[in-house]
Amino acid sequence: MGIPLLLASCGDTGGPTAAISRTGHAATTTTSAISTTTTTTQPPLPITPITWTQCNGSLQCGTLIVPLDYDHPQGGTIGIAVERHLADDPAQRIGSLVINPGGPGVSGIDDFVNELDTLTPPLLDDFDVVTFDPRGVQRSDPVTCGETPGAAPGPLPDPVPQNAAAQKSVIANMHQFAADCEKASGAILPYVGTVDVAQDLDRLRQALGDSGLTYMGQSYGTLLGATYAQLFPTHIRAMVLDSAIDPALSFSQLTLGQAEGFEGVLVSFFSWCAATTSCAWRPAGDATTALLALIARSRTSPTAAGNGRTAGPGELYNALLAGLYSESDWPELGSALAADTAGDGAQVVAMSDHYAMDGSTNGSDAGEAIDCLDHPASRELAAYAQLANVFAQSAPVFGPLLAWGEAGCAVWPVPPTRTPAPATAPGSPPIVVIGTTQDPATPYAWSVSLAGELSKGDLLTVNGSDHVSYFYSACVRAYVQGYFISLTVPPVGATCSD
């Protein structure tokens, strides 16, 4: 399969087991990309109240019933799994705060403990905190592509083919993966895009009894938030978009931006390694050359990792991505690279398995399905080798990886349902966009652009290199708390550090 956008948040950095990630029907609504009017001729499906039951200790779980196809809402329905933490101070309750932790393909319910552990006490006092598994993900009619969940991981294929024969093999695997997805999940595959999820989000708002949505989207969750804002600008109470995606960018612009973002953080990692005893990997000569040589060696001689496992190029790329989302993971990455160089791939495999979620969820399958509906890709398969060469000029390690990642959507069995376009959200209240200056996964420029596109976008800049700054910066959490509770936006030019 291909390697879609690498958009997982710090709450969960999952990616596909067959490569590396993180990333039909017509869109229900389109104006350039999205409009607030629909083409539906059938009456809308009534909002069904959520029946809540106690789960996971003091939490509550329920199911939101939504149309499978918003163009034909009287047809089939699906259930969206929802979980909430009730306000600790009911007398001060303002409403519900809905969180999407990123992805695409990440389960909000699986991530919920990370969010609850990070939210400030006043937010926990004043809001019912709500999350959900988006359609196609985990508990919400999951997309599956024929794998056996929980099966022992096998060796990953090389995601960056080096010659014509390898390219032919990779493309054949992509075709097979797409066919397997269509066979196993064809009924839902056309309906899991972000435009559909945004409409689910508005039905969730109504089912929760909120006149306006209070929402925090992280990483991919910012694309969901921007899509919702464009569709339902007057249905928003407050919205925070942390580590934003620019919805106006093409697939290739997004993947190149991510490749250059990860490459920039990789260079910072190299500098840190050379300057500190906390890094075990100290290659001779140029670090980029040494890393590319290590990956090349793994293609012909994968490193033994114990228990019959080996660390090949797929595992190395996974480990690199896992180690670059946050500076706190740099020592582990340095140790893994040093061990692999010395002939022990166990640490690389462990990091790769963690990044790929051990195949225990459907995150990789759902992520591919969502990305391919959200981001139109060129169908000219012969162009991807050249694209890889072009991307390699500015991102020699990650450029070819992400260029080939687009190719998975070139063979996808259903067409995209979202068209790239600016999110303007006319009539919305102020929306706070948070961007980190050296974010590897969602470059700072994307947050700047999105804040400028929105009719009332307010940019909060974070000086640092961690992805999704809410988890790392007390300053960011203070601004978000004040905004959600009192609707006070950060002052113009406000900055924080992570």
> Is 33 in contact with 421 (CB distance < 8 Å)?
yes
Q: How far apart are CA 269 and CA 275, in angstroms?
A: 10
Please name the amino acid found at residue 304.
A
Give the type of residue at 300. Answer: T
**In the structure, what pLDDT confidence band is assigned to residue 337 with cuts at 50, 70 and 90?**
very high
- H and E: helices and strands count for the chain: 15, 12
Q: Is 66 helix (H, G, I), strand (E, B) or coil?
A: strand
Tokens describing residue 108: 């909000």
The verdict on pTM exceeding 0.85 is yes
Tokens of 292: 């590319």
pLDDT at 131 over 70: yes
User: What's the whole-number mean pLDDT along residues 218-229?
Assistant: 98
The per-residue pLDDT for 169 is 92
Written as six digits, the tokens of 68 are: 């499978």
Among the listed residues 454, 362, 377, 440, the one whose alpha carbon sits nearest the alpha carbon of residue 408: 377
Residue whose structure tokens are 């190029």:
313
Mean pLDDT of the chain: 90
Q: Give the residue-averaged pLDDT of 281-295.
A: 96
Question: Token pair for residue 130?
Answer: 């709500």
CA distance 203 to 66: 8
DSSP letters, 263-331, are HHHHHHHHHHHHH-TT-----SS-HHHHHHHHHHHHHHSPEEEETTEEE-HHHHHHHHHHHHS-GGGHH
Strands of 86-207 (E only): list them. 95-100, 127-132
Q: Residue type at 141?
A: D
User: What are the pLDDT digits (tens) for 86-113?
Assistant: 999 999 999 999 999 999 999 999 999 9
Residue 315 contacts by C-beta under 8 Å, 6 or more apart in sequence? Answer: 155, 156, 298, 305, 345, 348, 349, 352
Distances (CA, A) of 386 to 4, 11, 399: 18, 34, 11
Distance, CA of 138 to CA of 465 (rounded, Å):
30
Nearest to 118 by CA among 468, 427, 471, 366: 471
Reported as a pLDDT band with limits 50, 70 and 90, residue 150 is low
- Alpha-carbon distance of 280 to 181, in angstroms, equals 41
Task: Return the DSSP state at 45.
Answer: P
Average pLDDT over residues 115-124: 98
Catalytic residues: 219, 439, 467
- Closest CA relative to residue 28, chosen from 20, 39, 17: 39
CA dist list (Å): 193 to 24, 122, 136: 11, 34, 9
> In the chain, what are the domains?
85-135+199-250+419-497 (3.40.50.1820)
Given a cut of 50, whether residue 190 has pLDDT beyond it is yes
Q: Which residue has the higher pLDDT, 150 or 468?
A: 468
